[in-house]
Amino acid sequence: MSMNQKQLARLVAAAVLGAAALSASAQNVAIVNGKAVPTARVNALKAQIEASGQPVTPEMDKMIKDEVIAREVFMQEANRRGLAATDAYKQQMELARQTVLIRALFEDFQKKNAVTDAEAKAEYDKFVAANGGKEYKASHILVESEDRAKAIIAEIKGGKKFEDIAQKESKDPGSGARGGDLDWANPNNYVPEFTEALVKLKKGEMTDTPVKSQFGWHIIRLDDERQAELPKFEDVKPQIVQQLQQQKLQQFQDQLRKSAKIQ
C-alpha cells in the first residue's frame, strides 16, 4: 500500500470513528458520574408534559434537560443508599406499575372504540328532542296549604301584586326573592303537575286554582314563551364526543367487573 493510500485509510477510519462518537453523543443528553443519560428520557418527559395538556415551548428545552439530569443525580444517590431494595419503594413501584398499565388499558380501549360521527349525531338528536320546542318564562308562588293558595289567588285578582306576595310568602327561596321569577326553562325541567298546568296557560295568565306537587301548592303565572334556541351540532360535538367516550369507558369497566370471578 502506498503512502498516499495509507494516509487516506487513516483519514477514512478517523472520519468513521468521529461519526460514531457523534452519533453516540446525540443519543445521550449528558454523562453523569460516568453513566450516560439517554436523550430518550428528555423526549419521554416532553411527551408526558404534552399529554397533560401543556405545550412544550423551545424555551422549556433547557429546563427539561436540567430536570432529566437532576433526576439521574438523585437516582444514583438513592441507589447508592440501597433505597431500591426497601419494601416501601417496592410497594410504591407496584402501585405505579398498576396505574400505568391500567391507564394503557383504558387508552387502548378508547382508541379501538372511538365515538363515531353517527353516534354523536344520534346523541345530539336525542338532546334536541328533549329540549326543542317551546321555552317558557314562568313565575310561581309556593305555599304549604291549599287554602292559603286559594286565598292568594283571590288577593291577586283583587289587586295585590303577585311579586310582593311571592317575596313574602313563597317557600321557594330562589324564585321567591325574585318575585317568583323562574326564568326561561324547558317545561320538561319541572315536575309533571307543574308542567301540565303551565303549558295550558296563555301569556300573562295565572292558574285559577292551586296546583299540587310534591313540594306543596303552586300559583303559576306564564310571563312569556318562545321557541327554544339550541346550539348547532358542530358547536357541541366535542362535548358530546367526550361524554360518550366516558360512557363507553364506564360500560367497559362495569362489564369487566361483572364478568370477573371474585371469590
CA trace torsion 234, 238, 244, 250 (10° rounding): 180
Question: What is the number of other CB atoms lying within 10 angstroms of the CB of residue 26?
Answer: 9
CB 28 within 8 A of CB 35: no
Whether 47 shows a pLDDT value over 50: the answer reads yes
- DSSP single-letter state for residue 206: B
Per-residue pLDDT tens over the stretch 129-154:
888 889 999 999 999 999 999 999 99
The C-alpha cell that represents 26 in the structure block: 446525540
CA–CA dist 211, 42 (Å, integer): 68
Q: What is the pLDDT of residues 60-105, one digit of tens each?
A: 999 999 999 999 999 999 999 999 999 999 999 999 999 999 999 9
The answer, as to whether pTM is greater than 0.75, is no
Sign (positive or negative) of CA dihedral 226, 227, 230, 232: negative
- Residue 260 per-residue DSSP state: S
Which residues are within 8 A (CB) of 1 and not within 5 positions of it... i.e. 6 or more apart?
9
pLDDT over threshold 90, residue 21: no
Hey, CA dihedral for 214, 215, 219, 220, is it positive or negative? negative
C-alpha cell at 152: 292568594
